[in-house]
Amino acid sequence: MARFKVKVIGFSGYLLALLCIVPAQASPFFVTIYGRTYKVDPRVPANEPKGIKPQEVLQALPDDIARGPGFRPSHEQVLAEVEERTWIVSNELSGELAASSFSSKGQYAGADKTAVDPEITGSLANGTAQAREPKLQTLYDRHRALSLLGRELRRSMDLPEKAPDAEFSRPKLSFEVEASYRNLNFDPLAAYYSFRRVKAAFRSGDIQLLARVTHYPISITRKAKRMIRNREQLIAAKDAMLSQRLREVAARSTFETVFVRDKGMMLGEGEIWITKSKTGFGLGAISTD
């Protein structure tokens, strides 16, 4: 499991022992995320097992998450960084859970990790699944660490608590941005959340995650245009779908600056289109010319 060092300030052995009993007396600790430092509340979230400490949970954060991007990011950019990583791990965790020995009889195949039998969530929460399902345990631990970190970032920014089923924090969109979507009869929030999912899927480099955010048929323009009509064809076209150029276009794009028209959202110079259908927004076209 990847380890992440956190700087702990003001903890004595006595306070560590009493952390979950008298959290009001515990001192905060600090973590560096994306080049910026944040204070973490030492109290245990209500949905975590008794006895577990936030600084222990955060040991499962990715090793590179503290690395700065070469510029001073805003708090919103730091939160977006954490939420994209959380979305990626959440989907990887769901996929691994469906393929795990917990689901060998099909009982939990495709089940949401928060709704499955306590036998699964309990084993992962207390770490006893490590010997049986080490990859699943690693993903669970990382997801829990990123979720806790996201909660603390939102608290430090005075943002409201995110709904349990929400993938990303509600954005503060300008009047001009909202109007550009509403004038096209688009829901700006639905467009925003889809933009974030597509961006995170490209970032992951995982064709299975990209398939989750794709509308079929999707057109791919290289020297000629072709249509990808299902998940199997999309996976077969992995090299084109996840080229370095497309991933860089997605990474550089921001919701506030994408071009929007009746077709949907254009990223870059038209390399990526997020289009609208009856089921909502999704990846609808790419161009590698």
What pLDDT, in 10s, does the model give residues 33-46?
Answer: 999 999 887 776 66
Report the half-sphere exposure of 53 (CA within 13 A, side-chain side): 20
Q: Are 183 and 154 found together in one domain?
A: no
pLDDT of residue 125: 81
Q: Pick the range with the lowest mean pLDDT from 162-176, 182-196, 234-248.
A: 162-176
What pLDDT band is residue 82 in, cutting at 50, 70 and 90?
Answer: very high
**CA 255-256-259 angle, 5° bins:** 80
Q: Specify whether 27 is located in the same domain as 155.
A: yes
Domain boundary residue among 145, 170, 195? 170
Span 159-174, pLDDT tens digits = 888 887 889 998 889 9
Judged by average pLDDT, the poorest of 7-16, 28-37, 153-162, 271-280 is 7-16
Residues 185 and 158 in one domain: no
Pair of tokens at residue 66: 């503290």
More confident residue, 218 or 125: 218
Domain that holds residue 253: 175-287
Do residue 156 and residue 207 come from a single domain? Answer: no
Q: CA 170, CA 160: separation in Å to the nearest integer?
A: 9
Q: Is residue 74 located within the same domain as residue 120? A: yes
Q: Given 139, 155, 170, which residue is the final one in a domain?
A: 170
The residues pairing with 280 across neighbouring beta strands, listed in sequence order, are 277
**CA–CA separation, 80 vs 154, rounded Å?**
11
User: If you average pLDDT over residues 249-262, what whole number do you get?
Assistant: 94
Please name the residue ranges forming H helices in the chain: 13-17, 54-57, 75-99, 118-125, 134-156, 175-182, 188-204, 207-212, 231-236, 238-241, 244-252
Measured in whole angstroms, the distance separating CA 49 from the mean position of its chain's CA atoms is 23
What are the beta bridge partners of residue 30?
7, 39
| Domain final residue pick, 170, 201, 234 | 170
If asked whether residues 53 and 166 sit together in one domain, one would say: yes
Can you give the pLDDT at residue 273?
97
CA distance 137 to 129: 6
Do 262 and 137 belong together in one domain? no
Tokens 């955060």 belong to 58
217 cis-preceded (ω within 30 degrees of 0): yes
What's the total number of domains in the chain? 2
| Residue 123 CB-half CA count within 13 A | 17
Query: Which of 168, 198, 191 has its CA nearest to residue 86?
Result: 168
| Number of Cβ within a 10 Å radius of residue 92 | 19
Question: Using CA atoms, how far apart are residues 217 and 186, in angstroms rounded to an integer?
Answer: 21
Percent residues over pLDDT 70 in the chain: 81
Backbone Cα Rg of the chain:
21
Confidence at residue 287, expressed as pLDDT on a 0 to 100 scale? 93
> Could you tell me the CATH number of the domain that includes residue 210?
3.10.450
Pair 156, 179 in one domain: no
Two tokens at 100?
Answer: 């795990």
Residues 79 and 193 placed together within one structural domain of the fold: no
Mean pLDDT across 173-202: 96
- Cα–Cα distance for residue pair 194/197, rounded to 1 Å: 5
Q: How confident is the model at residue 103 (pLDDT cuts 50, 70, 90)?
A: low
Which amino acid does the sequence have at 267? L
Let me know whether 130 and 67 are in one domain.
Answer: yes
CA-CA-CA-CA dihedral for 173, 73, 169, 178, to nearest 10: 10
- Token pair listed for 79: 């939160």
**CA dist 150 → 45, 112, 162 (Å):** 13, 20, 9
Assess whether 240 and 179 both reside in one domain. yes
- Lookup result for tokens 């060998």: 104
Same domain, 162 and 189: no
Pair of tokens at residue 60: 């499962």
